[in-house]
Amino acid sequence: MASGHEVAVYGAYGHTGRFVVEQLRELGFVPVLVGRDADKLRTLAASGPGFETRPAAVDDPAALDRALAGTAAVINCAGPFAATAGPVIEAALRAGIPYVDVAAEIEGNADTFARYADRAREAGAVIVPAMAFYGGLGDLLATAAMGDWTSADEAHVAYALSSWHPTAGTRAAGTVSRERRDGRRVRYTGGRLEYVSDAPPTLDWPFPAPVGTRSVIGEFTMADVVTLPSHLAIPEVRTYMTVEAARDVLAPDTPAPAPVDERGRSAQTFLVDVVVRSGGTERRAVARGRDIYAVSAPLAVEAVSRILTGRTRKVGVASAGDVFDAPDFLRALAPYLSVELPG
């Protein structure tokens, strides 16, 4: 299926990186293990069939060039992406290969669109940031829900997580984001990102069965506020998180995810409820699955597969719903999550 294409995975030994490496291998790609720590790369390589390792720090352009040499694409799984996205994108542009990342950092993703839109378009390159559970999945669902609408008044992305045990990468990215915001929080309203200092609201959200109505943190803002507005004419984009999951991820003593099955997934389950509204009409798309980190792997790898086989709608920097056929992409994820779309 994948014709043996070599795909570099930057941050291959991280929690999500390991899922991506395994997903690539299962689908017939040849993962090339790349990252800053040579010892961790060697340890990971010892667990697989003939994995090649290529150590490279983000502040070493020559090493990054060697790491990407001969590969067909690169998937960046190494956060904080505020530090890694720029250097790896630069290396991908020099190598003439597509770039995909799993960044959930709002400002990091906004930086990618702002800094690389013109250069990527001029180079005919495909750069897809936030091709993961946060940012990518919500964008695909919202795009599919929009259907033939060319605009909407509002988009709401509500997350019901049974729990949220953060990885070390999630905690590091959160620290960087808090520093960049200087204690403020961010929301998307009036067609732009806005920083405010008040506390977010708490409200009830009517999730579909079996979750039902749950208390959520309103304006618990995720990467969807960058990906959706990048191509959908929606001036109000709001995201929500169940109170228990928000409490988990913000608590300093919440442990990291623990594997409970042969694929290394945790017991965490999720439901993503996306509602778009135009006038008095509402459309909804829903996804259900397990382990937000594990499901990022099929999202990112499916993106690479579609880019390499020409199943894209544009070049440049683009979010998932813009560059891919959203309903078709979501159907391709059937082994990993269940989706309900309008109609």
Average pLDDT over residues 10-26: 97
Per-residue pLDDT band at 48 (split at 50, 70, 90): confident
- pLDDT for res 150: 96
Give SS3 for 32: strand
Average pLDDT over residues 129-157: 98
- pLDDT for res 170: 96
Nearest in space to 76 (alpha carbons), one of 3, 130, 23, 134: 130
Average pLDDT value over all residues in the chain: 96
CA gap 40, 33 in Å, rounded: 10
Give me the DSSP letters along 76-102: E--S-HHHHHHHHHHHHHHHT--EEE-
CA gap 236, 258 in Å, rounded: 36
CA gap 52, 114 in Å, rounded: 34
Q: pLDDT exceeding 90 applies to what percent of the chain?
A: 97
Q: Does residue 69 surpass a pLDDT of 90?
A: yes
Per the CB < 8 A criterion, the answer to whether 287 and 272 are in contact is: yes
Per the CB < 8 A criterion, the answer to whether 333 and 298 are in contact is: yes
How many CB atoms sit inside 10 A of residue 337's CB? 19
At 233-276, the pLDDT tens digits run 999 999 999 999 999 999 999 999 999 999 999 999 999 999 99
Average pLDDT over residues 224-238: 98
- pLDDT for res 2: 59
Secondary element (H or E) of residue 189? strand 185-189
More confident position, 315 or 2: 315
Q: What is the DSSP letter of 132?
A: S
Question: What's the token pair of residue 141?
Answer: 């669902």
Give the Å distances, CA to CA, from 238 to 6, 38, 61, 100: 38, 41, 38, 24
Average pLDDT over residues 57-72: 98
Task: Give the chain's domains with CATH numbers.
Answer: 6-132+296-327 (3.40.50.720), 133-292 (3.30.360.10)
Average pLDDT over residues 155-166: 98
Q: First CA to last CA across the chain, in angstroms?
A: 31
Please tell me the total number of residues recorded for the chain in this structure: 343
Average pLDDT over residues 156-182: 95
- Exposure string (b/e) for 207-224, b if CB count within 10 Å is 16 or more? beeebeebebbbbbbbbb
Per the CB < 8 A criterion, the answer to whether 214 and 205 are in contact is: yes
Average pLDDT over residues 280-294: 97
